[in-house]
A and B are shown apart, each in its own frame.
Chain A
Amino acid sequence: MWDRNQMAARAADELQDGWYVNLGIGIPTLVANYVGDKDITLQSENGMLGMGPFPFEGDEDPDLINAGKQTITELSRTAYFDSATSFGMIRGGKIAAAILGAMEVAENGDLANWMIPGKLVKGMGGAMDLVAGVGRVVVVMDHTNKYGKSKVLKACTLPLTGKGVVDRIITNLGVLDVVEGGLRIVECAEGVTENELRAATEATIV
């Protein structure tokens, strides 16, 4: 079974040299630590390409934050732009991939990650735009919820963020691709058997 960092490292393998990429909040943020020598430019949808690491203490700049509202830094390649331009490049398919967390993913690629009915709804932010617009959507999440119930489903039960948008799912148990008719197992996590992966998955595996 993979831990958070191993999942992030596996997700980093998805990224190709030269790509412009958007990373979501949570485990996806950790992916930046594992890109190695690849030339990857990170987009922050509040208006920046070339997102750098957190600043040293004392160097925080209130005018320089990421989409999670955290203070960050710029790089020598950094470019700034407004929100309409930012989502223009997202909607226009210029961002090669988005790596996002999820509450549920379905075998047809449906994704739910923004609201739970009856609970406090904070909003979708840029998630709906990202999944509709970027070249490739990779979900990184735990395979099951805290009650042990599968989050990889035949059909999402929560309100959707996007319909048929997910390409690949990376969980603590392995990697699955959304294909015709269901999900295909790409690999199992270290120490996880295919049977264990299947048992934890509600979705159809083809």
Chain B
Amino acid sequence: MKKIYESAEAALVGVLQDGMLIAAGGFGLCGIPELLLEGIKQAGTKELTFASNNAGVDDFGIGILLQTRQVQKMISSYVGENAEFMRQYLSGELALEFNPQGTLAERMRAGGCGIPGFYTKTGVGTVIAEGKESKMFNGQEYILEQGIFADLSIVKAWKADDTGNLIFRKTARNFNPPAAMCGKICIAEVEEIVPRGSLDPDMIHLPGIYVHRIVQGDHEKRIEQRTVRERA
């Protein structure tokens, strides 16, 4: 089966639907599926729910889909870098579900592993625990969190082979593997597609079983906060 598509737009054909739940990889602007987000913008799909750690900035990342009002709800841990997000949220146009970062990552991982719920001590005694089942284990309280089963996953990797085996680079890995795992269909955009056999099988970060479509493209890879030190 051929997994390689010519462009992000082509890779998205037949998988987008209004009102769908999309899990997206990335942390801040690092390792985000920027080409697929642009493709979703072009496709004009509406009323989307995104499970994504962050919401991008105004003109990059998920922010571009906020500009076009394609997003109905965000499931995120931190959304502080996006003025348009805040405007839509405060005016009630956009729904927001805060998840602790580790809970969000584990919800994705669990969904991908067929686990509909898990107990965690993160958030016990806080607003996060409100309305959630709790249970004692060994004298400690835990709350029940649910796995995320996304309709679509969009992720960014460094390299892929044509079977969808993925390798990520440095901290751009972040939410990409768990996001990829929890979707019915996963599309990965990569910087390079290499010939089969050229990736060391012992060094694959995410096996191709999780990846259904692959697209190679040029990435802007914007830096959100450039910090440097003086040369001695």
A residues in contact (CB < 8 Å) with B: 44-48, 53-57, 59-66, 68-72, 74, 80-84, 86-88, 90-91, 110, 120-129, 132-133, 159-164
Contact = CB atoms under 8 A, between A and B. Distances in A.
A205 to B, nearest CB: 24
B78 A46 contact: no
Given A82-B175, A129-B101, A123 B126 contact: no
A54 B105 contact: no
B121 A55 contact: no
Contacts of B128: 124, 128
A122 B79 contact: yes
A160 B100 contact: no
B144 interface: no
B78 A125 contact: yes
B100 A65 contact: no
Contacts of B174: 46-47, 82-83
Contact of A82 (B98, B123, B177, B227): B177
Contacts of A54: 227-229
Given A91-B122, A159-B127, A57 B101 contact: no
Contact of A80 (B86, B102, B170, B175): B170
A133 B30 CA distance: 25
B173 interface: yes
A90 B103 CA distance: 11
Contacts of A81: 173
A65 B28 contact: yes
Contacts of A84: 102, 105-106, 108-109, 177-178
B31 A63 contact: yes
Nearest to B229: A54
14 contacts: A48-B170, A56-B229, A60-B223, A63-B172, A65-B28, A66-B171, A83-B174, A86-B105, A88-B106, A110-B125, A132-B121, A133-B122, A162-B126, A163-B124
A63 B61 CA distance: 15
Q: List the 10 closest pairs (A to B, CB-CB), nearest first.
A: A87-B102, A163-B125, A122-B80, A129-B102, A123-B78, A126-B101, A83-B105, A84-B109, A62-B221, A128-B100
A87 B229 CA distance: 29
A122 to B, nearest CB: 3
Contacts of A56: 228-231
Given A69-B27, A84-B102, 18 more contacts: A47-B173, A54-B227, A55-B229, A63-B30, A64-B171, A65-B224, A83-B102, A84-B108, A86-B102, A87-B103, A88-B102, A125-B100, A126-B101, A128-B102, A128-B103, A132-B124, A159-B127, A163-B124
B226 interface: yes
Contacts of B175: 82-83
A57 B231 contact: yes
B76 interface: yes
B196 interface: no
A74 B105 CA distance: 23
B223 A132 contact: no
A83 B27 contact: yes
Nearest to A87: B102
Contact of A60 (B79, B106, B177, B228): B228
Contact of A57 (B171, B205, B228): B228
Contact of A63 (B103, B171, B224, B228): B171
B101 A62 contact: no
B106 A87 contact: yes
A71 B227 contact: yes
B225 interface: yes
Contact of B77 (A53, A123, A133): A123
A132 B123 contact: yes
Interface string B192-232: 00000000000001000000000000000111111111110
Most B CB atoms within 10 A — which of A59, A71, A110, A122?
A122
A44 B226 contact: no
Given A47-B171, A80-B173, A126 B102 contact: yes
Given A122-B79, A123-B76, A46 B171 contact: yes
